[in-house]
Amino acid sequence: MSGIGKSNAAAATAKVLQPSRHRAVLSIGIAGALQPLELGQAVVATSSVFADEGLQSPDGFKDCSAMGFPLGAFPGSAVPVHDQLARELESVLSTKSPRSGPIATVSTCSGTDQLAAQVKSRTGAVAEAMEGAAVGLAAHRLGVPFGEVRIISNTTGDRNLQRWDMKRALTGLSEVIGLLAQHRRG
- Which range of residues forms the domain containing residue 10? 6-185
78: left (phi over 0), alpha (psi -120 to 50) or beta: beta
Number of independent structural domains in the chain: 1
Please check whether residue 83 lies inside any domain of the structure: yes
pLDDT digits (tens, 9 = 90+) for 34-61: 999 999 999 999 999 999 999 999 999 9
Please check whether residue 1 lies inside any domain of the structure: no
Burial of 20 (0-12, 13-18, 19+ CB in 10 A): exposed
Q: What CATH number does residue 108 fall under?
A: 3.40.50.1580
pLDDT digits (tens, 9 = 90+) for 94-109: 998 999 999 999 999 9
* Bridge partner residues of 80 (DSSP): 47
